[in-house]
Each structure stands twice: as structure tokens, then as C-alpha cells.
């Protein structure tokens, strides 16, 4: 649902849109990765890509440094 809100804001206002990937999401991803339930880099990049496609011009995330490293290796 939050991606729909990002798209609505992007389509409604002529200003850059910023999105925040909250700490709870970060903690959930880290915990699932530690248990081996998910592929952390793949999930994080997919999530950030979805936020960008929804219309965010900027994304604030606790995964920023790791995402930059993963993307530089791709």
C-alpha cells in the first residue's frame, strides 16, 4: 500500500519524492537473513527497486552502504 502512496504523491505534486525504508523493515530482513530464510542482497535490491519504480527520487535506508556494495559487484 505504501508504494501506491508514493506513486500518488509523485503523480500529484511537481516536487522530488523521498521514501524512507524504516528500521523495522531493516530489522526484519536482518533477522530473516541470519536464520537463512532469505537471500538478503536479493531481497533488499528488489525492495529498493520497487520503491524507485513507484516514483521515489530518493530512498533513505539503513541498507544504504550494503546496497551500494552489492550493486557495485553486480
Tell me the per-residue pLDDT of 29-59, one tens digit each, with 9 for 90 and over: 999 999 999 999 999 999 999 999 999 999 9
Nearest to 3 by CA among 43, 50, 60, 63: 50
Which spans in the chain are helix H?
A: 2-12, 23-34, 40-54, 64-73
Question: Taking a C-beta distance cutoff of 8 angstroms, is the pair 52, 19 a contact?
Answer: no
- pLDDT value of residue 9: 97
- pLDDT value of residue 12: 98
Mean pLDDT, rounded, for 2-30? 96
Mean pLDDT, rounded, for 15-34? 96
User: Full-prediction pTM beyond 0.85?
Assistant: yes
- Residue 23, classified by CB atoms within 10 Å of its CB into exposed (0-12), middle (13-18) or buried (19+), is exposed
Amino acid at each position: 500500500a505504501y508504494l501506491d502512496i508514493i506513486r500518488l504523491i509523485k503523480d500529484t505534486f511537481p516536487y522530488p519524492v523521498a521514501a524512507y525504508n524504516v528500521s523495522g523493515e531493516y530489522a526484519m530482513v536482518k533477522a530473516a537473513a541470519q536464520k537463512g530464510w532469505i537471500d538478503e542482497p536479493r531481497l533488499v535490491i528488489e525492495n529498493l527497486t520497487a520503491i524507485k519504480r513507484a516514483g521515489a527520487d530518493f530512498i533513505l535506508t539503513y541498507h544504504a552502504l550494503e546496497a551500494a556494495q552489492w550493486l557495485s559487484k553486480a
